[in-house]
Amino acid sequence: MDNNFNAYEEAAEMLKALAHPVRLCIVRGLLKNGPCNVSYMQECLEIPQSTVSQHLQKLRSSGIVKAQRQRHEIYYTIENETVRRIVQTLFEEE
């Protein structure tokens, strides 16, 4: 064992951000479908746009997704490769 608690703290924060069903669904959807905007996610998830935006903000602040503006819309993609591998591993049998 080591006591590099900074690394463990970062990993724990990333896992906390993923530990919500809606956020996990958003990340998985981005992995499967590629870049998406909030309107598309809102339609797929059938939840209010404000709720999707709140979850995306948490994912952005955790460094899991990034936002890119394309004209008048913002598209989200997965930025964190570790998260990509974790979520792919969680759902590899489906």
Please give the domain boundaries of the chain with CATH numbers for all domains.
5-90 (1.10.10.10)
Nearest by Cα to 36 from 47, 15, 52: 52
Q: Are 39 and 75 in contact (CB under 8 A)?
A: no
In degrees and rounded to multiples of 5, residue 77 shows phi and psi of -135, 165
Q: Show pLDDT as tens, one digit a residue, over the chain (94 residues).
A: 678 788 889 899 999 999 999 999 999 999 999 999 999 999 999 999 999 999 999 999 999 999 999 999 999 999 999 999 999 999 986 6
Nearest by Cα to 77 from 90, 63, 87: 63
**pTM of the model as a whole:** 0.89
Which 8-state DSSP code applies to residue 67? E
